[in-house]
Amino acid sequence: MPSRARYAHGGWLGAALGLFLATPLALAEVREASGEWRRMVPLPEARTEVSVATDGERIFLAGGFLLAGERDATAPRTLFVYDPGDDRWEALTELPRGVNHAGFEYHDGRLYVIAGFDEASFTPTDAFHIYDIDTDKWRQGPVVPTPRGALATAVLDGRIHAIGGTTHGREDVGVHEVYDPQSDLWSQLAAMPTPRNHHRAAAIDGRIVVLAGRDDSTFRLTTNEIYHPDDDRWEEGAPVPTGRSGVAATALDDWVYLFGGETFTPERRTFDEAERYHLEEDRWERLPAMPTARHGLDAAAVEGAIYVIAGGPEAGFAFSDLNERLIPDD
């Protein structure tokens, strides 16, 4: 496996080594992979900037923007659940408060809505709502220590990680906080080396892979940073082949899959790219393109298939009810 740059909690040596290794990693071969796309039953509402989670059998979708009139958007509160076996959507519950660009995770019979932007605004929130599926009840958890939206979240070893995002003053942060359901407390971990927003994270093989996104200098970050919980450190992985932000990511078997995205410079466009990253081999493969280019989407894997849901077909405020399924070949 190619060597990776190790970050000593943001130290100059790790950052310098990361820059040194960026060129050889960027030149690594991107192999072609195969898979089959199919359009499934659409989401009941056309949304963008959504968040999805799965219990391994069903897919849950929450938050985002919903078009209101010709120009305005609202923050819909209906939380939907999708059954891939029946290819059917239904309303499950209502969010206590509207949110967009939020973290959203499933763990042990509960759904967690983590921070995001409040209602239909771009005001970061520290709200943390927990829904017990069996009892059909919400409770307000301890506030997220750093209010932010467009963050990345993942569940690893029973704890919920909240990484990066945009906080007050439109400041991008690399802050990394973790919630322990057993203690009902948040704590601080080593910060992500690259502050960014509109990125995604996926837990795989005991680590968290954080991909793509944007910052003050570009909408097309190729950054791939990997968190090791055993010694609370980050390292750099092979860069994303196609830099973009507003992406979706999920893990399936030995791979982390990355879909879609947008940019505004040098042109305003959305992406149909589907790529996957093998953590142990530190390499990327390119999959057949998504049927519909879009951003503000999200994805979840169930029973060997990946469902890529909602998002805007045009950069900026755009909406869709799309539900496209990829079955990748081995």
Query: What is the domain range of residue 290?
Result: 30-328
Which pLDDT band, with edges at 50, 70 and 90, does 25 fall under? very low
Is the pLDDT reported for residue 292 higher than 80? Answer: yes
Is the pLDDT reported for residue 84 higher than 90? Answer: yes
Domain assignment of residue 166, yes or no: yes
Domain assignment of residue 269, yes or no: yes
Tokens found for residue 59: 């897919």
Tokens found for residue 146: 């750093």
Residue 315: DSSP 8-state: S
Global pTM reads 0.92
Provide the sign of the torsion angle of the four alpha carbons 41, 45, 50, 52, taken in this order: negative
Task: State residue 279's pLDDT score.
Answer: 98
Task: State residue 296's pLDDT score.
Answer: 98
Which pLDDT band, with edges at 50, 70 and 90, does 223 fall under? very high
Which pLDDT band, with edges at 50, 70 and 90, does 72 fall under? confident
Find the mean pLDDT for residues 121-128. Answer: 98
Domain assignment of residue 117, yes or no: yes
Domain assignment of residue 297, yes or no: yes
Domain assignment of residue 125, yes or no: yes
Domain assignment of residue 157, yes or no: yes
Domain count, the chain: 1
Task: State residue 13's pLDDT score.
Answer: 27
pLDDT tens digits, one per residue of 231-271: 999 999 999 999 999 999 999 999 999 999 999 999 999 99
Is the pLDDT reported for residue 5 higher than 90? Answer: no
Q: Are 243 and 232 in contact (CB under 8 A)?
A: no
Which pLDDT band, with edges at 50, 70 and 90, does 316 fall under? very high
- Looking only at the bridges linking them, the beta strands covering 47-48 and 65-68 are antiparallel
Tokens found for residue 154: 């993942």
Q: Are 280 and 205 in contact (CB under 8 A)?
A: yes
Domain assignment of residue 18, yes or no: no
- Cβ neighbours for 54, distance < 8 A, ≥ 6 positions apart: 60, 106, 300, 301, 302
State residue 116 phi and psi, 5-degree precision: 100, -170
Q: What angle do CA 164, 166, 168 make, to 5 degrees?
A: 130
Residues of the chain above pLDDT 70, percent:
92
Which pLDDT band, with edges at 50, 70 and 90, does 71 fall under? confident
Tokens found for residue 130: 């927990």
Q: What is the CATH number of the domain that holds 216?
A: 2.120.10.80
Which pLDDT band, with edges at 50, 70 and 90, does 325 fall under? very high
Q: Are 142 and 164 in contact (CB under 8 A)?
A: no
What are the DSSP calls for 105-116, one per residue?
Answer: EEETTEEEEE--
* Per-chain mean pLDDT for the chain: 92
- Residue 203: Cβ within 10 Å count: 19
The candidate with the shortest Cα–Cα distance to 307, out of 266, 228, 239, 248, is 248
Task: State residue 21's pLDDT score.
Answer: 35
Domain assignment of residue 21, yes or no: no
Task: State residue 330's pLDDT score.
Answer: 82
Instruction: For residues 104 and 144, give the distance between their C-alpha atoms in angstroms, rounded to a whole number.
Output: 13
Task: State residue 23's pLDDT score.
Answer: 35
Task: State residue 20's pLDDT score.
Answer: 32
Which pLDDT band, with edges at 50, 70 and 90, does 216 fall under? very high
